[in-house]
Structures are given as C-alpha cells and as structure tokens.
C-alpha cells in the first residue's frame, strides 16, 4: 500500500508539472529571471555568471513585494559582508590561522543571525559573501580583493534586478489570475543556547577550510563554505540537543539533488559538444528545463523539496558557463567537489557532538 501511495505521489507531481496554475507560473518566472540574470550579468561584466543566475533564481517569489524585499535583503547582506571582507581579508589572508578565526567568527555569527533574526536572509549573505571573498583570496592571491568584491556585488545585483523586473511584470499580468499562496513573515527569536551551539558547530567546520587549502590546494573551497552554512539552516525545532539527524537529511538531499542535476547537465554538455553551432541553444534549453524541474520539486511541499534547490544549483553551475564558446564540465566538477568537501568537514563535527550527547544521556540514566 505504501508503494502505491509513493507511485501516486510521483504521478501527481508529473501531472501538475503540465497543469496551468500558480506552480507553473512560478517555474516560468524562474526561467525568465535566470535568462535575464545571465544577460544582465554579462552586461555588468561578471565573471561568475552562474552566481548571477542563481541570484535570479533564489530571489524569485510569487509577488513583487516579496521578491523586492528578498532582493533588498540579499543586496544589503552582500554589501555588509563585502565591507567586512574589505576591512578584514587584507589583514588575515596570508596567515592560515588568522583566516580560520575570521571565517569562524563572521560565519558563526552570521549563521546564528540567519537562524534567529527577522531579517535572516540578509544575515545569511553577510556570512556567505565574506567567506567567499576570503577563500577566493586564499585560492587566488594574485586577485585584488576590491576587484573581486566589485565583481561579486555586480553579479548579485544583476541577478536580483533581473528577478525584480520579471516579478513585477508577472505580478501585474499572470499573477492576477494565479496568485501564490499566503505566507507569514518570519519572527525573531530570543537568545537560545542550543542555536548558538549549532552555529558554533558550523563555525568549527569553517575553521578547517584554510588549513585544508594550505595542505592540499583543493579548488573552489568557497563552495564548501557555502555548503556548510546552507546545510546548517534547519528549522529551530529540529536542533534540540543535536542537529545531526535533520542536517544529515539535508546532506542526503543535497547530494542526491546535485548528482541528479549534474547528470542531466552532463548529458546536455555532451550533446552541445557534438555540435559547435548548436552548443549555446542546447545549453540554454537544458538550463531552462532543469530550472523548471528543480523549482517544481522545490515547490512540492514534500520531504524532497530541498533536493530541488540543489538540483537547480547543479544545473546552473554546469549549464551557465562564463562563456558559451568554452563550456566545459571541469569548472562544474571543481565546484561540486567543493560542495563535497564542505559535507565531509561538517559531518564529523555534528557526528562527534551527537555521540557525546548520547554518552551523556546514557551516563545520566545509570
């Protein structure tokens, strides 16, 4: 009987993918936003166009007021994180231990704010922007910090503006017929020691990234930092004495989503490689289909919704190259490797505390 219900759920999701309504509108909004973000990112001189595309995807909501507010929070958080990086990174990047401390402090505080504060999305991007700039400087010491900050802010702004434009048009056209479901605003949370402990565990995983770079020169460790922070964003009710189980669920979904998205993207890359004339159209078509599938899964309100976001991430990382003339799977493999490194660093930290809690409870019962 359970197998039948699972089959019926799959059939229902497949049917709704082709059914006009709010979900289909949202998927087309995301496709339009990503396409416009790619165009704006190139016009702005971005060098990581996939980041502009992902900004265009993640900011999109079902009404211009929601998209605009989310976009403002993303930009404000990115600017504050960039300002912190402007002040701190030049002073710490050449010292591994100092870099590790900076990552832990800014990343941990940002993670706590993202879990508990009203403007959580801005708090998150304070940390994300800072860790990406610092780790990029470690990997590319020849890069000027100010120049990278400028690039990252331009890419973020390009994706956000593209999303707001599409959302505004949609709000006053198709959304008049198919509005999105109502949503409640987030509420701030008073000081919670369990959340502080959870955030500090994320900070401990971040600490190891500079040492890992110094020892092995693993590329794209910034993706590892982003992965650590994203995985730790679990509902507060799931933290309790140990957030190990809910985070592991997110890890499984992140891996499945990224692997599935990468597999689909690889198929389109192979097709594009067989025809130089059709390379760009094939990559764009694959990206559009991937974004719609990923968003559809994300909006399913099921246990696998988070996997849809990761599916889309892999699609955008792979099928939105910085140049369609030189599209390759290598950069995507490096970024996906960074994601895997982040997971492998986070798991021992959470598992270790989970074991400690278990032993403490066991001893308390004796």
Provide DSSP, 41-96. HHHTT-S-HHHHHHHHHHH--SSHHHHHHHHHHHHHHHHHHHHHHHHHHHHHTT-H
Cα-based distances in Å from 74 to 87, 102, 200, 249, 344: 20, 21, 23, 26, 28
- DSSP-based three-state secondary structure for 189: coil
When pLDDT is averaged across residues 325-329 and rounded to a whole number, the result is 72
Q: Is the residue at 15 inside a domain?
A: no
Using CA atoms of 119, 124, 130, 135 in order, give the dihedral in degrees to the nearest 10.
Answer: 180
Residue-level pLDDT at 1: 39
**Enclosing domain of residue 273:** 22-176+194-364
To the nearest whole number, what is the mean pLDDT of the chain?
91
2 vs 287, more confident:
287
Confidence grade of residue 97 (pLDDT, cut at 50, 70, 90): very high
Q: Is the residue at 236 inside a domain?
A: yes
Residue 72 has pLDDT above 80, yes or no: yes
Return the number of other C-beta atoms located less than 10 Å from residue 206's C-beta.
Answer: 30
Dihedrals φ, ψ of 246, to 5°? -65, -35
Q: Is the residue at 185 inside a domain?
A: no
When pLDDT is averaged across residues 252-272 and rounded to a whole number, the result is 92
Residue-level pLDDT at 92: 97
Confidence grade of residue 2 (pLDDT, cut at 50, 70, 90): very low
Q: Which of 82, 56, 84, 85 is nearest to 71 (CA)?
A: 56
Q: Is the distance from CB of 133 to CB of 144 less than 8 angstroms?
A: no
Residue-level pLDDT at 4: 47
What is the pTM assigned to this prediction? 0.92
Residue 176 has pLDDT above 90, yes or no: yes
Q: Is the residue at 330 inside a domain?
A: yes
Q: How far apart are CA 95 and CA 113, in angstroms?
A: 27
Confidence grade of residue 366 (pLDDT, cut at 50, 70, 90): low
Q: Is the residue at 281 inside a domain?
A: yes
Residue-level pLDDT at 9: 63
Confidence grade of residue 127 (pLDDT, cut at 50, 70, 90): very high
Residue 152: CA count within 13 A, CB half-sphere: 30
Q: Is the distance from CB of 199 to CB of 115 less than 8 angstroms?
A: yes
The total number of structural domains in the chain stands at 1
Q: Is the residue at 328 inside a domain?
A: yes
Q: Is the distance from CB of 125 to CB of 73 less than 8 angstroms?
A: yes
∠ Cα 291 297 64 (to 5°) = 65
* Farthest-apart Cα atoms in the chain, separation: 72
Q: Is the residue at 181 inside a domain?
A: no
pLDDT, tens digit (0-9, with 9 covering 90-100), for 32-69: 999 999 999 999 998 889 999 999 999 999 999 999 99
- Residue 215: is it exposed, middle or buried by C-beta count within 10 angstroms (0-12/13-18/19+)? exposed
Q: How far apart are CA 249 and CA 184, in angstroms?
A: 25
Handedness of CA 51, 82, 130, 238 (dihedral sign): negative
Q: How far apart are CA 155 and CA 37, in angstroms?
A: 9
Residue 8 has pLDDT above 70, yes or no: no
Residue 204 has pLDDT above 90, yes or no: yes
Q: Is 220 left (phi over 0), alpha (psi -120 to 50) or beta?
A: left
Residue-level pLDDT at 73: 97
Q: Is the residue at 10 inside a domain?
A: no
């Amino acid at each position: 009987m359970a197998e039948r219900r699972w089959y019926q759920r799959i059939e229902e999701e497949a049917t709704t993918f082709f059914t006009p309504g709010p979900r289909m509108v949202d998927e087309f909004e995301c496709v339009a936003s990503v396409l416009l973000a790619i165009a704006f990112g190139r016009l702005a001189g971005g060098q990581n166009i996939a980041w502009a595309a992902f900004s265009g995807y993640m900011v999109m909501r079902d009404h211009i007021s929601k998209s605009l507010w989310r976009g403002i929070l993303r930009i404000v958080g990115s600017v504050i994180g960039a300002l912190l990086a402007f002040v701190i990174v030049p002073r710490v990047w050449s010292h591994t231990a100092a870099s590790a401390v900076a990552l832990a402090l800014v990343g941990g505080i940002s993670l706590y704010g993202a879990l508990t504060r009203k403007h959580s999305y801005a708090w998150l991007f304070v940390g994300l922007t800072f860790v990406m700039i610092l780790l990029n400087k470690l990997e590319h010491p020849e890069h000027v910090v100010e120049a990278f900050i400028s690039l990252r802010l331009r890419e973020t702004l390009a994706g956000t503006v593209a999303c707001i434009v599409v959302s505004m048009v949609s709000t006053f056209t198709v959304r008049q017929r198919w509005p999105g479901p109502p949503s409640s605003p987030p509420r701030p949370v008073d000081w919670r020691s369990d959340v502080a402990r959870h955030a500090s565990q994320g900070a401990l995983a971040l600490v190891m990234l500079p040492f890992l770079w110094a020892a092995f020169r693993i590329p794209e460790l910034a993706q590892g930092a982003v992965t650590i922070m994203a995985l730790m964003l679990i509902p507060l009710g799931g933290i309790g004495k140990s957030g190990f189980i809910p985070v592991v669920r997110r890890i499984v979904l992140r891996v499945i989503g990224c692997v599935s998205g990468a597999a689909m993207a690889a198929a389109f890359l192979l097709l594009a490689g067989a025809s130089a004339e059709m390379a760009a159209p094939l990559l764009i078509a694959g990206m559009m289909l991937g974004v719609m599938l990923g968003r559809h899964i994300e909006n399913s309100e099921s246990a696998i919704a988070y996997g849809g976001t990761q599916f889309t991430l892999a699609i955008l990382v792979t099928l939105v190259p910085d140049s369609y003339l030189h599209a390759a799977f290598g950069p995507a493999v490096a970024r996906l490797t960074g994601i895997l490194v982040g997971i492998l660093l986070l798991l021992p930290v959470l598992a270790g505390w989970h074991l400690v809690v278990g032993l403490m409870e066991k001893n308390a019962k004796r």
